[in-house]
């Protein structure tokens, strides 16, 4: 995937080395479902690769309304499931 960054009259070409096809995913279920619950896959990130973190945030934000994550607790718990390793460690 190639991104272009325009600044004044300069053109800087940025090429991503991030491989979106190899990102592990987790299935999340609809909150407070009446009847069969919807399930959707969201990428998981360990927080090491910045592009991976942004990809996870974007995808989670896209599905949160579909899966009815409207309350703070639902958002927090389910987004935390998308984190592994260093990104999931507790900070005190």
Exposure pattern of 41-70 as b/e (b: 16+ CB <10 Å)?
ebbbbeeeeeebbebbeebbeebbeebebe
Are the beta carbons of 68 and 29 closer than 8 angstroms? no
Number of structural domains (the chain) is 1
pTM over 0.85: no
Are the beta carbons of 87 and 47 closer than 8 angstroms? yes
Does residue 8 sit within a domain? no
pLDDT, tens digit, for every residue of 32-88? 778 888 899 999 988 888 888 899 999 999 999 889 888 888 888 899 889 887 677
Does residue 35 sit within a domain? yes
Does residue 3 sit within a domain? no
Does residue 82 sit within a domain? yes
pLDDT of residue 89: 72
pLDDT, tens digit, for every residue of 17-47? 778 888 899 999 988 778 888 899 999 988 8
Mean per-residue pLDDT of the chain: 81
DSSP 38: P
Does residue 84 sit within a domain? yes
Domain limits at 45? 21-88
């Amino acid at each position: 995937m190639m991104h272009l960054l325009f600044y004044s009259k300069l053109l800087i070409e940025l090429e991503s080395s991030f491989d979106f096809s190899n990102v592990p995913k987790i299935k999340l279920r609809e909150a407070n479902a009446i009847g069969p619950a919807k399930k959707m896959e969201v990428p998981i990130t360990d927080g090491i690769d910045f592009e991976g973190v942004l990809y996870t945030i974007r995808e989670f934000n896209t599905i949160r309304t579909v899966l009815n994550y409207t309350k703070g607790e639902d958002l927090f718990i389910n987004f935390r499931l998308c984190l592994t390793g260093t990104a999931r460690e507790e900070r005190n």
